[in-house]
Structure 1
Amino acid sequence: MLLRTAICAAVLLLCQPHAALAQDAARATLAEQDLAGRIDAAIAPMFQPAAPGATVIVVKDGKTVLRRAYGMSDTAKGVKMAPEMALRLGSITKQFTSTGILMLAEEGKLSVDDDITKHLPDYPTRGKKITIAQLLTHTSGIASYTAKPDYRTRMTQDLTVAQMIDSFKDDPLDFEPGSQYRYNNSGYFLLGAIIEKISGQSYASFVEQRIFVPLGMNDTYYEGHGSSKAPVAAGHMRVESGFGPAHPLSMTQPYAAGSLVSTVDDLARWDAAIRAGRLLKPASWQKAFTPYRLADGKDINYGYGWEVATVQGAPMVGHGGGINGFSTYALRLPEQKVYVAVLTNSDSGPVNPGVVARKAAGIAIGKPHREFREVALQPAALNGLAGAFEVEKGVQRVFRRQGDSLVMQRSGRPPVVVKPLSANEFFIPGTLEYFEFQRNEQGVVTQVLQHYDGGTLVQPRVGDAPAGRRAVKIADGAFDARVGRYELRPGFVMELSREGGRYFAQATGQGKLEIFPMSETVFFSNDVDAEISFEGQGFVLKQGGRNLPARKL
């Protein structure tokens, strides 16, 4: 009897740890389910069931917490989005290009401090030293080909790598190399050319053989140069009736700056490989995630193919992407071991993938973002808020009262209606940003604080709000004399037209914008910060601090 009791006690002791482990596992599962539910509850309302949607993955401590799809994969055919679908990544591609460059650097085949002419000897640098590091960090000063006015007219053309480089290599530099940061797709196009030159492989083959195959990323490829079993989501853009097919694009043009297609599952594999220190040495990964320093000693919020920022105070590296039909965002929180990827199949809303990713990440680390809920204000509460506030030298943020609304406009950007959180706080719908007006003892607004995920910017009041542009009534006949096609540069034309008493402008490859007369010779748009001023047989387009003359055809 004593022997049987001892045996039972021993069995009980052996079973207790297993039971405890099972209970711990059950609690962990419940915690993960609760976290997934909270993330889903926060982001699901942002998507519309019949609109373009998204695939979303959230990984924490190496475990997939949430993997879901929202909205439609193809609105025309009524196909729902599924988590396994493949979508264009856009500029998330730059992470893979920079990794390829660093792999070649570790092999001793290049240095990021090399002048680019060491590898592209025919590239005209105009006597300036432009380094590979400056291409990686958007500090080269080279003009970005996607920012050129005629880019949309050429984006369907299949071009070779050399032809694409020829399209921007003779443009003047935007600034002294290393002195400024300006996002630049030309730089990453050149990085792709350098990879090809050194490796002897096409860019598509290099990233496939050196990155995707070793990491098991079987559904990731250069569009047009590979495929997978994953179904591909259709790309969308906004049209007057809702959403339609995106503008066509030759994938020879985004190339090493934005040509890749992938799934959220493969992106999670990508993050797991980075966490495990695969492909590169720790020092190289750290360099990629370190803010680059300009010639004047100031750091920028960008490393080698990665944005460097914070989410609710937690250090973050990530990147967004925007390409015809698609908008994306993926981020890593290294200290919390959290990864979030959001791939949407529309290039023009209705959802900002960066906001979705940040909200999901905030919940994953136990620091959810503030939920914005509009409150009702008496119109008189808007009195005294109007004014001009300095963002930085030469850049202002202007608040104006328009009826019962408060409108904000930053220099060079279209106006936005901001919604009240309180009498002194207003948020931008669809973002994580809000503004807080601060007053002196006399109750006069002296500055506005711009709160965004990761920090706060203080913007002092520098004066009254400039008078807003007001439309006046002109005779339709006065505009009819202006109707026609105007050439801003070869292949880039703006057409002016009238529909009843409304006036419109439409540039090549772009949507139609309504324009309003300030006089018979000056017109403005409420959708973009631009003016058209007629002079003789042409006009001058004033936009983004530039004056672009156009002649009538």
Structure 2
Amino acid sequence: MITKKTITILIPILLLGIRIDAQVPTNKYEKKIDSLILTGFESKNEPGGVFMVTQKGKSLYHKAFGKANLELDVNMTPKNVFQIGSMTKQFTAIAILMLEQQGKLNVNDPISKYIADYPNGAKITIHHLLTHTSGIKDFTKMKALSTIAQKEMKPEMMVDFFKNEPVDFAPGEKFEYNNSGYVLLGYIIEIVSGQTYEDFIKKNIFEKVGMLHSYYATDRQLIPKRAYGYHQKEHGFVNKTVISFSVPFSSGSLMSTVDDMLKWQQALNQNTLLNPAETKKVFQKYKLNNGEEFTYGYGWHLKDINGTPDREHGGSIFGFKSMGVYIPSEDIYVIGFSNCDCHSPTEITRNIAKITLQSIKK
């Protein structure tokens, strides 16, 4: 029987529980984050961004800054859809491991098993592509890129564009960030699954996770709540350069919202898409041929914030920049999107993660 005395005792305990669960002192914390973001996103009349912080899935901070569309004078909202650039690589890596889990490929397979005529393909493995250790020429560093930037390229055309370029180093010799490797992974996903990369990601990840506002990027399809991308020139802002999304393809052509990206992070934590053994492969550090360890798993940089391990990745594509940081030990997720490539959320997002970590550990 619950007596009046019991209720009197329980109320402060319950209230204390709420405070412990929230962990971060709201007003002081919010002002700290506001001031940090406003160092880079101070103008209400310029392109802006969206930032979100969660712990254990609960929102600690969720705000929008600036304009989603300058021409129509539309304010940014936390629900706006952004191009996420190289954060796409996370989805490509997980898709590869989903196929491995189904027994359709192995990360140690040579790419010649899937693309028979690829130069030196017998020595380059899927693992090399995932970890940026293949030595293949990064197509974004090729002078000829401008000749195809606005063309509709099939995946095999993209592969043909860079495959005969001289390699930068032997497979496994060093780590060097490489977009070509992730284009090859997208092509392998299509070959193995029998689906287009776009369809595979949509049906096997977006729909399964409930990411209802995430897309393979397009300038033609109507995207509800789309944030428009901008560059900054000496005379002011201009609309982003138009490119064919078939060029960055599986290395950088997805769009999403911060809320959908939280669903993505939770799906990874809950092994919704991968079993624990496959998930472990994603977030472990690997070694080069000489035994030296490097700080990249499959689709994520594996670093630390003041000694606390984190998983992070950014993205940059014409008109947009993105950054996500996840701290596994505290289940903290921080993500920032910008709709001008003149405003980088990278350091701001890492600093927000640092402040959040400090606030929680107090």
TM-score band, normalised by shorter chain: over 0.9
The reply on whether 1:108 has 2:97 as its aligned counterpart is: no
What is the distance in 2 between the residues matched to 1:190 and 1:27?
47
Q: 1:272 aligns with which of 266, 274, 278?
A: 266
Matches within 5 A, 1:166-205: 166-205=160-199
The reply on whether 1:49 has 2:41 as its aligned counterpart is: no
Q: 2:200 aligns with which of 206, 229, 242?
A: 206
Q: 1:95 aligns with which of 77, 87, 90?
A: 90
Equivalent position of 1:433 in the other structure: none
Equivalent position of 1:17 in the other structure: 10
Q: 1:259 aligns with which of 211, 230, 253?
A: 253
What is the distance in 2 between the residues matched to 1:121 and 1:263?
38
Matches within 5 A, 1:346-495: 346-347=340-341, 349=342, 351-366=343-358
Equivalent position of 2:232 in the other structure: 238
User: What is the Cα-based RMSD across aligned positions, in Å?
Assistant: 2.1
Aligned-pair CA distance for 1:225: 10
Aligned-pair CA distance for 1:67: 0.7
Structure 1 residue ranges without an equivalent (≥5): 1-6, 369-553
Equivalent position of 1:499 in the other structure: none
Amino acid in the other structure paired with 1:61: K
Amino acid in the other structure paired with 1:95: Q
Aligned-pair CA distance for 1:38: 2.5
CA distance 1:227–1:65, change in 2 (3 Å): farther
Aligned-pair CA distance for 1:122: 2.5
The reply on whether 1:298 has 2:298 as its aligned counterpart is: no
Aligned-pair CA distance for 1:275: 1.8
Contact 1:97 1:191 in 2 (8 A): yes
What is the distance in 1 between the residues matched to 2:185 and 2:22?
44
SS of the residue corresponding to residue 167 of structure 1 reads helix
Query: Which is richer in helix?
Result: 2
Alpha-carbon displacement from aligned partner over 1:473-506 (angstroms, at most 9, x marks no partner): xxxxxxxxxxxxxxxxxxxxxxxxxxxxxxxxxx
SS of the residue corresponding to residue 332 of structure 1 reads strand
Query: Which is richer in strand?
Result: 1
Equivalent position of 2:210 in the other structure: 216
Alpha-carbon displacement from aligned partner over 1:201-227 (angstroms, at most 9, x marks no partner): 110111111111111100111113996
SS of the residue corresponding to residue 150 of structure 1 reads helix
Matches within 5 A, 1:309-324: 309-324=303-318
What is the distance in 2 between the residues matched to 1:136 and 1:284?
14
CA distance 1:31–1:367, change in 2 (3 Å): closer
SS of the residue corresponding to residue 293 of structure 2 reads coil
TM-score, reference length from structure 2: 0.93
Alpha-carbon displacement from aligned partner over 1:80-137 (angstroms, at most 9, x marks no partner): 21110000000000000000001111111111110001111122227x5000000001
Q: 2:116 aligns with which of 116, 121, 136?
A: 121
Contact 2:314 2:324 in 1 (8 A): yes
What is the distance in 1 between the residues matched to 2:281 and 2:20?
39
CA distance 1:28–1:228, change in 2 (3 Å): farther
Amino acid in the other structure paired with 1:105: E
What is the distance in 1 between the residues matched to 2:202 and 2:30?
33
Aligned-pair CA distance for 1:286: 2.0
What is the distance in 2 between the residues matched to 1:22 and 1:64?
19
SS of the residue corresponding to residue 366 of structure 1 reads helix
Amino acid in the other structure paired with 1:98: A
TM-score, reference length from structure 1: 0.62
What is the distance in 2 between the residues matched to 1:31 and 1:304?
32
Contact 1:52 1:236 in 2 (8 A): yes
Contact 1:60 1:364 in 2 (8 A): no
Contact 1:219 1:262 in 2 (8 A): yes
Contact 2:48 2:65 in 1 (8 A): yes
Contact 2:24 2:356 in 1 (8 A): no
Equivalent position of 1:391 in the other structure: none
Aligned-pair CA distance for 1:249: 0.6
Aligned-pair CA distance for 1:364: 0.6
What is the distance in 1 between the residues matched to 2:182 and 2:243?
18
Aligned-pair CA distance for 1:287: 1.5
Higher relative contact order (CA 8 A, sep 6+): 2
What is the distance in 1 between the residues matched to 2:211 and 2:307?
31
Give % identity.
36
SS of the residue corresponding to residue 233 of structure 1 reads coil
Structure 2 residue ranges without an equivalent (≥5): none
What is the distance in 1 between the residues matched to 2:217 and 2:104?
27
